[in-house]
Amino acid sequence: MKYISLISQETNTDSYSNLASICKNGHSIGSVIIADGYLFVKKGFKYYYISYKDADKIFRRVKRLHANICCGDGDIEVEYLVIFAQGRELMEITLPGKKAARAVIEELNEVAKDLDTSAPVKKSDPDSEA
């Protein structure tokens, strides 16, 4: 397995065994693993990681996707976990539903109490105000 830092995008070979043991002891929700001091995201044979102190914000994003279903049209809500650090969005991870998204945020609030998990406030469009 490769452990790749989300901040530097470098493969961490020095502390491989340390990261592997931390990841192994974490709690998995979908492809997200919440561990002591680190958040891991599994993609294929790679694990991307970020320490909670390096993350500016980790929050839940909901997008509505239009879908043509067998019996008509409809919208599907898709849940994502978004990781912000160094003033930019580093990764958007698809989560397996609302329960999983809420569970990830609740667990992050317990493990990393100083981490900001609130979604950014949408800026209103000045042209839409009357």
Q: Is pTM, for the whole model, over 0.95?
A: no
Q: Are 73 and 29 in contact (CB under 8 A)?
A: no
- Per cent of the chain over pLDDT 90 is 43
Residue with tokens 């945020």: 105
In order of 8, 113, 115, the CA distances from 108 in angstroms are: 22, 8, 8
Q: pLDDT-derived band of residue 43, with 50, 70 and 90 as boundaries?
A: very high
Q: How many residues does the chain have?
A: 130
Q: Taking 70 as the threshold, does the pLDDT of residue 129 lie above it?
A: no
Task: Check residue 16 and give its pLDDT.
Answer: 65
What does the pLDDT look like over 61-95, one tens digit per residue? 888 887 777 777 777 778 899 999 998 999 999 99
Q: Where are the domains of the chain?
A: 2-111
Task: Check residue 120 and give its pLDDT.
Answer: 80
**Largest distance between two CA atoms of the chain:** 59
- CA Rg, the chain, in Å? 17
Task: Check residue 74 and give its pLDDT.
Answer: 76
CA torsion sign for 57, 114, 9, 95 is negative
